[in-house]
Structure 1
Amino acid sequence: MNDAKIRTGGCHCGAVRFEVTLSDGFNSIRRCTCSFCRMRGAVVTMAEMGGIKFLQGEEALTSYRFHTGTAQHFFCSRCGIYTHHQRRSDTSLYAVNVACLDGVSPFDFAEVPVMDGINHTNDTGKPTRRAGTLRFIPAD
């Protein structure tokens, strides 16, 4: 897989297309254990605020906020695919769904760190804790 910092991507139906500059390539991939991320199941990587440029369909995005309302999660209003969200712990960062990036799959990563979103740093005042590791082992 090409680890270029500038990637293109979009939703499932193609209504939303974007270009993203990844802050640290795929070195920041992660999952989260909070109630929403646990149900969504996406692997994400980081982009700084202003690092996402919409090529088409920005108006097709809808958003969802919960709990404190700080994090804003974006979805295509047509196909329902989660594309990215503004992070709660660092609102200057977006977390981008790697499955929406062209030529990338969450199964490209043998190990994905899982962060403890149940005990979120903004709630506990403690540093972010790693809850575990998600592993993908391809069948023979």
Structure 2
Amino acid sequence: MYRLFPERAVGHPEGGDITIDRPSQHVLQRSSCLTRDNHLENRFCIGLPPRGRSIHAATAAYLLFELLPSVLMHVVFADNSDEQDLEHHIKSFEQQNAFWELPSENDLIAFIAKGIVLARLSGALDTASNKRQR
């Protein structure tokens, strides 16, 4: 969803924008997109356009009632996504959930694969490593 969002939510020349959390490799209890029971919850921020110390109403109305619905129509519905990418994402999500349950199911604290290679430049950066080091 993030990959499609920025190219659609370009904001308005007078200010105001629509943003969504950028996913990263950090494990955080937050998400821009949640599924609960039978509904989908999308979380994003809307920066309302300023007009001095108040809000520019016409531009805010454009953001909320024209730009936002068009962005959501493009981003949220599967018709607008590559079906193979969507299936891959769902399978990866299910595998990740199963993986995270492994330690507790086996009375372990953590699971570290033998010969694991850090895929990032460092543990503090999301930047991918350009070479494999052991």
One fold, TM greater than 0.5? no
Task: Pick the structure with more helix per residue.
Answer: 2
Structure number with greater CO (CA < 8 Å, separation at least 6) is 1
TM-score range, shorter chain: under 0.3
Q: If you compute each CA radius of gyration, which structure gives the higher value, 1 or 2?
A: 2
